Amino acid sequence: MQAAVLEPATLGRDLLVSAQTGSGKTVAYGLAMVPEVLGEAERLPQAAAPLALVVAPTRELALQVQGELAWLYAKAGGRVVACVGGTDPVAERRALGHGAHIVVGTPGRLRDHLERGNLRPEAMRVVVLDEADEMLDLGFREELEAILETTPAERRTLLFSATVPRGIAALARGYQRDALRIAATAEGDQHGDIDYQALLIAPHEIERAVVNVLRFHDAGSALVFCTTRAAVARLHGNLAERGFSAVALSGELSQAERNRAMQGLRDGRARVCVATDVAARGIDLPDLALVIHAELPKDPETLLHRSGRTGRAGRKGVSALLVPHNRRRAAERLLQAAKVKASWAPAPTAEAIRARDGERIAAQALAMAEEEVGEEDLALARGLLAERPPEALAALLVRVMRGPLPAPEELAEVTDRPPPPMREPREPGGEGVWFKMNLGRQGNADPRWILPFLCRRGHVTRQEIGRIRVMDRETRFEVAPYAASRFAAAARKPGEEDEHIRIEAAEAPRATPYGGPRSAAPRSGPSRPAAPYGAPRSAAPRHQKPAPRGPRRA
């Protein structure tokens, strides 16, 4: 990209540039605006009204851009000032009053300084919109239009973005003049340094799966994405409780708290960052080797932006999507829309993690054995060997090295093959596998709450449950053959709220004679809220009384 923006055809022209994240966009537009900022001179004059303005979506990205541009223009005497939300606006006003060659900031804070007269736009020769697509997604269109309309009309406008959706194209048409389109990578090409993995998990096992993915890859630093602040707080607390050195990033944190979290990641005190999409913008960690999507992204652009935090500057990285098996179709559509090919497999099991631990511990122990050992340590080792056999000492060493590692989680078995559509059995006991549970009409059993309960307890979908027969003291139901083993394994692990409900295999029922127990198939369409499992009869949803009939005929 940096070579593309220095071509003779780009000189003096507006640019609309798209490229994969981590490909050096900041230095690229820093080089592209050299003719407007520095010209033919070797050093810049004393700082006064800014010559260039860079707009970034988040505080972290703006501060990162400030650091890189300050390094790029250091020998030319360039002064770069940052104006971002969450910091002291009075200090920023004083910094702008002392003069700046380049100003970098977030849309809201820059617009505020422009309206208050703290930021003078009359000398600006170039405006850069970094991560323009993300700024539109975050709702900054009004601020961007106000900034572009305030700056001189003859300015040069550079739009840099990972993707170019319709909103960016419309913004370019409205505020750029004959912009040159540059795609630093071929449209639709997959990032060659990112290994996309789609990991199938059972519903309600997301947090356990995150633990296993982190343990299996053992990356130097990892980034876990959630969609809400509440999910970030919950998952961060879960990982910290299990022994991971983790930090959280969300919009509710102050700038000082965000800075401490980022510093912990950079100096190695923390190895896992749990963040929302907005808070993770601008995070640039050199050794970030793993990105986990704890919750599926909402659109292809978000998937690419999240994954682009790894695989930067030629380094390899892994982007792991946790896919509940009942959302596999949605994940496949998401990957197809993003033009990304992923390898499908179940999430790492506890056995696979223990095997990987054994390989790492053995390699680490052998590497330590190659180091030089002092005579004092050798004498102590000879004394230990005189007291205990070598195997016992080696086993003790392995246990000590394994001790600090967080324990892996036991996950429900999930097949990595796409489930075929369930065929409704026409004859009793024909196609499905039958199970029973120790709850019937006397326990307020009703298909309207039995169906979601079975899906949650057995990690299956509604389409994988067939007929449901509610009897006096028990309920029998049918499960699709391909999901029966998965259902049986999951149903043996009840939760605290439903541990009194037992589920076990049952024989296929015979044909029901007239007057026998009826088959209560789950109804489609909306239904009333289900009663809590094991609740008293009065809490169960009551059936509506039939409408009164008219008078009987003689």
How many helices, marked H, and strands, marked E, lie in the chain?
18, 18
What per-residue confidence (pLDDT) applies to 369? 75
Measured CA to CA, the distance from residue 37 to residue 384 in angstroms comes to: 70
Q: Given this chain, do its domains 4-183 and 194-351 carry the same CATH topology? A: yes
- Pairing outcome for strands 221-225 and 102-105: unpaired
Overall fold of domain 194-351: Rossmann fold (3.40.50)
Residue 412's pLDDT band (boundaries 50, 70, 90)? confident
What per-residue confidence (pLDDT) applies to 191? 65
Measured CA to CA, the distance from residue 265 to residue 288 in angstroms comes to: 10
Higher pLDDT, 543 or 49: 49
* Beta strand residue intervals within 229-375, DSSP E: 246-249, 272-275, 288-293, 317-324, 343-346
Residue spans of the domains in the chain: they are 4-183, 194-351, 433-535
- Pairing outcome for strands 221-225 and 288-293: parallel
pTM: 0.64
User: Is it the case that residue 318 has pLDDT exceeding 50?
Assistant: yes
Overall fold of domain 433-535: Alpha-Beta Plaits (3.30.70)
Token pair of 205, please?
Answer: 């096992």
341-345 long-range Cβ contacts below 8 angstroms, 24+ apart: 341/190, 341/196, 342/196, 342/197, 342/198, 343/195, 343/196, 343/197, 343/198, 344/198, 344/200, 344/416, 345/197, 345/198, 345/199, 345/200, 345/416
The b/e string for 27-66 (b: 16+ C-beta within 10 A; e otherwise) is bbbbbbbbebbbeeeeebeebeebbbbbbbbbbbbbbbbb
* Contacting residues for 430 by C-beta, under 8 A, at least 6 apart: none
What per-residue confidence (pLDDT) applies to 200? 92
Residue 95's pLDDT band (boundaries 50, 70, 90)? very high
- Identify the three-state secondary structure at position 385: helix
To the nearest whole number, what is the mean pLDDT of the chain? Answer: 81
User: Is it the case that residue 546 has pLDDT exceeding 70?
Assistant: no
Q: Which of 147, 136, 124 is nearest to 169 (CA)?
A: 136
Q: Please state the rounded mean pLDDT for residues 13-36.
A: 84
**Virtual CA dihedral for 186, 191, 192, 196, nearest 10 degrees?**
-140
371 by Cβ neighbours in 10 Å (0-12 / 13-18 / 19+) ranks as: exposed
pLDDT, tens digit, 9 for 90 and up, residues 108-152: 999 999 999 999 999 999 999 988 877 877 778 889 989 999 999
Higher pLDDT, 265 or 53: 53
pLDDT, tens digit, 9 for 90 and up, residues 434-485: 999 998 888 888 888 888 888 888 888 788 888 899 998 899 999 988 888 8
Residues 465 and 209: beta-carbon distance below 8 Å? no
Residue 173's pLDDT band (boundaries 50, 70, 90)? confident
CATH class given for the domain over 4-183: alpha beta
Q: Which residue has the tokens 């004498």?
A: 379
Distances (CA, A) of 345 to 54, 356, 408, 517: 43, 17, 18, 42
pLDDT, tens digit, 9 for 90 and up, residues 475-525: 999 998 888 888 888 888 777 677 788 898 888 776 544 444 444 444 444
